[in-house]
Chain A
Amino acid sequence: MEQEKVHVRLLIIAGVALFWMAGIFGRVAYLQLFLHSEYLARAAKQQRKRIDIAPKRGVIYDRNMRPLAMSIPVQSAFAVPSEVKDVGMATRLLAGVLGIPAEEIRQELESENTFVWIKRKLAPDKVEAVQSLNLKGIYLQEENQRYYPKRDMAAHVLGFVNIDEKGMGGVEERYDDLIRSKAEKVVVMTDGRQRWYDGGETLRDRGANAVLTLDERIQYIVERELAAAIEKRHAPAGSVIVQDPNSGAILAMANWPRFNPNAATDSPDEARMNRAISAIYEPGSTFKLITLAAAFDQGLIRADEVFDCENGAVTVAGHLIHDHKRYGLLTVADILANSSDVGAIKIALRLGSPKFFDYIKGFGFGTPTGVDLPGESRGLLHRLDHWGSYSIASVSMGQEVGVTPLQVVTAVSAVANGGLLYKPYVVQQMMRGNQALGVEGPGTDPPRRVVRPETAATLRRLMEGVILHGTGKAARLDGWTAAGKTGTAQKIDPATGRYSPKNVIASFAGFAPINNPAVTILVTIDSPAGFPHDGATVAAPVFKRIAEQVLPYLDVARDVPSSPQLLQTAYSAKTEDDEAPSDDLAPIDFSAQPEDREESVKANSTQTTLQKLPEVMMAVDEGGDIAVPDFTGNTMREVTENCLKLGLNPVLVGSYLAIQQVPAAGAKVRRGTKVTVQFGSEPARAGKTH
């Protein structure tokens, strides 16, 4: 009986347990089978979070991988108005911390939107202040801020970005789709404490990095000299371009006025304009290069051919044109060196409008160069059928045609490199990580031949004459040969509609050295004040200062010995302790000095050595020790043999007998220096006029 009682109790307990278990399993089954999808969705909603990844722009480097533009993450404050309990308090606190008018904040917080910006891209101290307020409904979100660490350097080339990190102008705009990564939403898994435990693998489209052709140092040199010239001449605007004539790469592009892309909206629109590619001006006398190039290439003139410049005045189609000086008989070389308008007109008339027009178009005028920057102007070139009877004369002098500085420097580079017109470009390559992106651009386009190499060689020599004994003497370099052309173009006075005698655009276009040019430089100064204000006075010195800093930076070997004045300068700096008095032109003998200073050298004490050095450090380099012979009248074989014997590198242009050479006879050069010798027929007799 007891057992039965026990048995019953056990059954009761078992029954209760079974009932309990059945209840639990039933509930589990119900949840798993019937409510599975609902709870799964709820769990996903709780655990999954969508995170917005702000787009990040790639870095823009110069050619030596120095960063010019980069982005870093910053915090932006936003509000969810529905979560803000005390709008008044939040408004007061935020206005005090962020320095925004309270009314603006109140408007945002009282709006019906679910998301409103309070202030974007805050400084770190403001971020801390907002965090310390700990206001409900006010949150911080990460965004990216674009910075330009070099401030206004190369601002027109780089461009800038707006608040949404979209490129505006320059490389930022041109390559915006590559530089800017896409905004993404990333799904992450979070636990109950909102900690991430599965961030997921995101295939982020990282913004590509851009490597420019610009050199930061050259850009700085150019900007500094341009600013100095602008200040000295009180000019309102100007631009300088430095280009590699052998590839079309832009090494520097500077404009005035400038702007700071870190605060681009604070600058006027005029300051943000890239004058080097957008501003159109009449080139003036620099365009005579095109006139002569066309005539030479057609074989219509020779360098020594004499033209009658009519004593400074000529009538074309009823228009009387005055030269800036009364010139009589001038050779073609002198026409260019002295920039005779009459001479250029006569040459153009011999060429004829159709051929002249073809060469103008061939040199790239009247069409955009295709540079990889936005906003390039095509210039202004009337169609041939719109040319008047007087147009050929105007255009030959560089009037009635509008060009951009980039078009001019590209054309001059074609002369410098032997007749090939390269497309200018500023972006060397685009990279994503370490991988280069194959981007089609002007840098990959093959050059186009515009004139024959002989024509280019002739023109180079004539352009050297501009500097040696023409209008460009102020551009003569100390240590390097150079070639160029001055330009002084009158601007049209908007009030009268005529050319203004006061407002001109002074320019100088040139390259250096003559043999194997390393750089082509164009300087344009808009409306320099005072007189004289021509290209020779205003722009040529700027060319000189820039070239003399850029060429040693590029390790371009000197091809001209130092002038005697340098020796004199060096001697005058000698200290009283120096042994022998020397003549002005006596060379400094350093041979004994290393032995005297042997101890200091062996001790390797730089400080000691510095103390013993003279105050002004002069190390006179008189150039090479090979005197270039006079090749005039020699055959090509003779020239080649002589050069090889001396260890020089001959470049032979033309045929028959040697008539011209660069460097000139007697110049001291180093072993391996390139010597260009032009060959041709016997020179024309004097007295032949046209």
Chain B
Amino acid sequence: MATAYRWSPEIPEGLSNGRANVARGETGTGRYFEQTGIPRFARNDGKMPLSANSGGGPSRKVAAMTTRSLRRELMGGNCKKPAMAEFYTVKRIDNSRLVHHLEPAKMRNLFRTAALGGIIAVFFMLYVYQHFRCIDMSFQLEDLKGKQTQAAELNGKLKLEIATLRDPRRIDVIAQHELGFKRPEANQVREYVNLDGAQVAALQYTRLNRAP
């Protein structure tokens, strides 16, 4: 008789009515087991032995079935392997009080490796960052150089304009024809001592000490 073990507190239906012998028991480990016997029929023409309470009815029906057909029925109909006693260990394990032991050496190695890898990663990222930052700053630098060049060009143009406006001939023409200035005679231009007060007033009073 094949014996199957299943981790179940209950006996499945259909197996407790004589089709199989279910034995319940308790192993030394505290496990419960159920033995679902799938009787291996002896060679009696393939007929099932009579059960303990065989008297007819279902047992008869069972008795009339061959082992294979019975297995098939029991197993859902497509069982090709020979019946074996299968023991299902129902095991209840409580890990709530388990303490996971960490090996310090392994952890150190792990951290060391992680740190090294992190440093390498940081350096790599830093290198990449610098590379692209450098390119970015190069763009900015070229942009600033362009602005500087434009400013220098504008400066040059303004200096040219200033020099043109300062042309003595141009100023002479403006002074004489537009403002009505007259060119001084040689005797009108005198050296003078810069006295306190308005410069124009000082010009009027320039006269060195004169001998009587």
Contact = CB atoms under 8 A, between A and B. Distances in A.
Contact of A625 (B160, B167, B211): B211
Interface in B178-212: 186-192, 195-201, 203-211
B151 to A, nearest CB: 13
Nearest to B149: A73
A625 B186 contact: no
Contact of B187 (A216, A217, A566): A566
Interface string A163-186: 000000000000000000000000
Interface of A: 66-68, 70-73, 147, 149-151, 153, 189, 191, 195-199, 216-217, 220, 224, 477-479, 548-549, 552, 557-558, 562, 566, 569, 587-588, 590, 593-594, 597, 600-602, 604-606, 609-610, 613, 616-625, 627, 668, 670
Given A149-B164, A601-B198, 12 more contacts: A70-B156, A195-B139, A197-B138, A477-B186, A478-B186, A602-B197, A606-B199, A618-B187, A622-B210, A623-B208, A625-B210, A670-B208
A179 to B, nearest CB: 16
Among B146, B153, B208, the one with the most A-chain Cβ atoms within 10 Å of its Cβ is B208
A618 B163 contact: no
B157 interface: yes
A585 to B, nearest CB: 13
B133 to A, nearest CB: 12
A66 B204 contact: no
A402 B204 CA distance: 51
Contact of B201 (A198, A600, A623, A627): A600
A557 B208 CA distance: 14
A151 B165 CA distance: 11
26 contacts: A72-B153, A72-B160, A149-B166, A150-B163, A151-B169, A153-B167, A196-B139, A196-B146, A198-B142, A220-B172, A549-B186, A558-B191, A590-B207, A593-B204, A600-B198, A604-B197, A606-B199, A617-B203, A618-B188, A619-B205, A621-B190, A622-B207, A623-B208, A625-B208, A625-B210, A625-B211
A189 B134 CA distance: 13
Nearest to A668: B211
A67 B142 contact: no
Contacts of B204: 590, 593, 613, 617, 619
A479 B6 CA distance: 140
A609 B198 contact: yes
A587 B210 contact: yes
A552 B189 contact: yes
B190 to A, nearest CB: 5
A197 B191 CA distance: 62
Nearest to B135: A197
A548 B190 CA distance: 12
Contacts of A197: 135, 138-139, 142
Interface of B: 135, 138-139, 141-142, 145-146, 153, 156-157, 159-160, 163-164, 166-169, 172, 186-192, 195-201, 203-211
Interface centre among B142, B172, B201 (most CB of A within 10 A): B201
Given A73-B153, A569-B187, A606-B198, A588 B207 contact: yes
A7 to B, nearest CB: 22
Nearest 8 CB-CB pairs, A to B?
A: A601-B197, A149-B163, A220-B168, A197-B138, A548-B186, A149-B164, A196-B142, A566-B187
Contacts of A67: 159-160, 163
Contacts of A619: 190, 192, 203-207
A590 B203 CA distance: 11
A624 to B, nearest CB: 7
A73 B152 CA distance: 10
A48 to B, nearest CB: 14
A54 to B, nearest CB: 13
B134 to A, nearest CB: 9
B131 to A, nearest CB: 12
Contacts of B160: 67, 70, 72, 147, 149
A91 B169 CA distance: 42
Contact of A621 (B141, B168, B199, B206): B206
B5 to A, nearest CB: 22
A606 B200 contact: yes
A196 B138 CA distance: 8
- Looking at A70, A72, A153, the one whose CB has the most chain B CB atoms below 10 A away is A72
Given A617-B204, A621-B206, A627 B189 contact: no
A623 B156 CA distance: 47
Nearest to A613: B204
A558 B191 CA distance: 9
Contacts of B167: 149-151, 153
A191 B195 CA distance: 68
Contact of A72 (B157, B188, B197, B199): B157
Nearest to A72: B156
Contacts of A613: 200, 204
Nearest to B163: A149
